[in-house]
Amino acid sequence: MTTAQRTGFLEYSHTMGMTVMEGRGFYYPVDTAVGKNDRLYVISRSKEETARGIRVTMCDGDSGYYGNFGGYGHGGGQFVWPACGAVDSQGRFFISDEKLNRITAYDESGYYLFHWGQSGSGDGELDTPSGLAFDSQDNICVADTYNNRVQKFTANGRFLLSIGGDGQQGLSLPWGLTADAQDNLYVADFGNDCVKKFSPSGEFLAAFGSPGRGEGQFTRPASVAVDRDGYIYVADWGNERVQVLDAAGNFVQSLRGQATLSPWASNFLSINVEEAAARATADLDMEIDYFVDDPHEESSHIEKYFWCPVSVKLDSQGYLYVTETNRHRLQVYRRSEPQN
């Protein structure tokens, strides 16, 4: 995989994807899961009023394309409002469905295996499940978003424990999840504008960040990833950026986005010459006097910037994949210094 010259902690590498309703590309992607041999599973959930385009796209970091699976529906292997994905040690891909309140499993090629989940607020029941993360024993943690908790299950859906109670450890609309090498769980606490860390048994360990737009502050964080050195990567969704913290929660770096054309988009423009000509004359890095001081306004006008960065995931080589919903793409970054 070719990368750009590295001069900082994280350096931009390349962009993946393009807008497409069917076939090769993404349509309002909401998460990316990393599987065996760093195969990527990108979840497109379309727009709420549009069932067409809902799918999982299989690809790799070099923009190799391996097909789609899933699709809108209530049957086995289908989904209505897919949210997040995760891959277990066997290579099976699991996806959460916010509307059907269930978790569905597929093999590594996208063939449906089974699903489970029951609506409700009791132990083992779900209300709008989102983030997923596996521990080293292949137990799956599920962000039970509207129940303001995380629940841990076996891979086949047997309830094990609930995480996130009252007080300091309380969660408000938890979203993205990840587990570190010690099976500690990190939660993007969307409603509390912070990231929280729990032990494998659910004991509260730490909280990182506070509400705001400054360094190390968050506005509606949607996803979190942790590398082997303990660095924490956060999709700071409400601030239209990705932030990096060290293991103690100290600010390291903030990214706004540096996207370039992806190979899929370049191929499309080479065929559709009229669209390519229009793009060649467009101002893609315009200077605007904004009426409101809002990162969303800036991101919506500057193509290279993140616009709705909803997910951050790491592969085995240390590449960080940032999923952008509103521009139907992934921006890819990598550490510029060797990892231990």
- The answer, yes or no, to whether residue 2 has pLDDT greater than 70, is no
Q: How many helices (H) and strands (E) does the chain have?
A: 3, 24
Q: How far apart are CA 302 and CA 286, in angstroms?
A: 7
- Residue 8 confidence class, pLDDT cut points 50, 70, 90: low
Average model confidence (pLDDT) for the chain? 93
For residue 306, give the CATH number of its domain.
2.120.10.30
Bridging pattern class, strands 204-208 and 223-226: unpaired
pLDDT of residue 49: 79
Instruction: Let me know if residue 245 belongs to a domain.
Output: yes
Mean pLDDT of all residues in 237-262: 96
pLDDT of residue 3: 37
244: its two tokens: 């990096």
2: its two tokens: 């070719």
- Residue 5 confidence class, pLDDT cut points 50, 70, 90: very low
pLDDT of residue 168: 67
- With b for 16 or more beta-carbon neighbours within 10 A and e for fewer, the 24-48 pattern comes to bbbbbbbbbbbbeeebbbbbbbbee
Mean pLDDT of all residues in 119-141: 98
What is the residue range of 235's domain?
10-335
> What percentage of the chain's residues is helix, strand, coil (to nearest 5)?
10, 40, 50
Instruction: Let me know if residue 2 belongs to a domain.
Output: no
Higher-confidence residue: 64 or 282? 64
**DSSP 3-state assignment of 299?**
helix
Instruction: Let me know if residue 161 belongs to a domain.
Output: yes
How many domains does one find in the chain? 1
List, for residues 163-214, the tens digit of each pLDDT value. Answer: 987 666 799 999 999 999 999 999 999 999 999 999 999 999 999 999 999 9
Return the percentage of the chain with pLDDT > 90, whole number.
Answer: 80
Name every residue whose Cβ is closer than 8 Å to that of residue 199 and which is 6 or more positions away in sequence.
184, 185, 205
Classify residue 238 by its DSSP letter.
G
26: its two tokens: 């993404």
- Poorest-confidence range of 4-13, 32-41, 181-190? 4-13
Mean pLDDT of all residues in 107-124: 98
Instruction: Let me know if residue 340 belongs to a domain.
Output: no
pLDDT of residue 261: 93
- The answer, yes or no, to whether residue 61 has pLDDT greater than 90, is yes
Mean pLDDT of all residues in 2-23: 77
- With b for 16 or more beta-carbon neighbours within 10 A and e for fewer, the 277-314 pattern comes to eeeeeeeeeeeeeeeeeebeeebbbbbbbbbbbbbbbb
- The answer, yes or no, to whether residue 294 has pLDDT greater than 90, is no
CA 123 to the chain's CA centroid: 26
- Report which of 17, 19, 131 is spatially closest to residue 85, judged by C-alpha positions: 131
140: its two tokens: 């799956």
